[in-house]
Amino acid sequence: MMYTNLIFTICLGFTINLVESKKLPDYIPTCKRSDPKFDQCVLNAIEVSRPYLIKGIPKIRVPALEPLEIPQLDINRDQPNLKVKALLKNIKINGASAFKVTKLRCDPNALNVEMTIQLPFTTVTCDYDVDGRLLVVPLVGKGVFRGNFTDIVADVKATGEIISSKKGVKYIAIKTVRTKVKVGDQVVRFVNTDNNRNNDLITQTAANFINQNRRQVLEIVLPIAEETADAIVKSMGNNVLRSIPYNELLPQ
């Protein structure tokens, strides 16, 4: 889901930035493109850097993982099984620092990355303002959301390309990001705060339905979550990449 993609963004940053040692703090190990075990070098560097990832590394624009925070997210979907307009604020994710990269394949020359990320347990909280329906269940109201998610596995593939600025400077841009996520289990809770008793009843009905029909709900929600997360990862990644010329990022 969203947090697995954000972790992928962080790992992608390591995969790219490890090539250029002068971009990294001294406490982070570096890897060379000529290293025949480049992928393993990156994995080792991520593990050595994990304590710093928890607090964040501003120098290379890596956000803190505990908690991982997203200020705001707008959702607008109109599909047969899910019609919803929602504004989520103050999103906080705990447990992201326990991520494990179980597979990593990267080609710095072709600008391709494939990763599998596992998360044993995460909690997500946020403020919500929602109006819509899930299947036949209304989703209406304002309040606080809390969700527990276990045994998350995300398979992520990304491709890059070389672009040129108006001045002819070359940069790397993320071209595509594709994610497939599996969630072992989930339990969610909504606390309605708009002082509307009718909305409170609707909210509790929705929470009960989601918790009692976890598999069905995940099948509906996951594709939308993956699509939204892919767009955010692409935007965030390109904001970082466009500030570093290609020849500095991946020197020959």
**What is the secondary structure of 166-217 as a DSSP string?**
TT--EEEEEEEEEEEEEEEEEEEEEEE-S--HHHHHHHHHHHHHHHHSHHHH
DSSP 88: E
119 or 14, greater pLDDT: 119
Give pTM, 2 decimals.
0.79
**Of 55-64, 69-78, 159-168, 173-182, the least confident:** 55-64
Q: What is the pLDDT of residues 36-80, one digit of tens each?
A: 887 888 788 789 888 988 988 777 677 788 998 888 889 898 988
Instruction: Tell me if residue 234 falls in helix, strand or coil.
Output: helix
Identify the pLDDT of residue 9.
Answer: 55
CATH code, residues 2-249: 3.15.10.30
Q: How confident is the model at residue 95 (pLDDT cuts 50, 70, 90)?
A: very high
Highest mean pLDDT among 11-20, 32-41, 169-178, 240-249: 169-178
**CA separation for the pair 154, 147 (Å, rounded):** 18
Domain definitions of the chain by residue range: 2-249
d(CA 207, CA 121): 20
Residue entry with tokens 């020197």: 251
User: In this predicted structure, what is the pLDDT of residue 58?
Assistant: 78
Angle, helix 2-17 to helix 38-55, in steps of 10 degrees: 120
Contact 156, 114 (CB under 8 A): yes
The lowest-confidence range among 8-17, 24-33, 66-75, 147-156 is: 8-17
Whether the pLDDT of residue 104 is over 70: the answer is: yes
Q: How far apart are CA 208 and CA 197, in angstroms?
A: 17
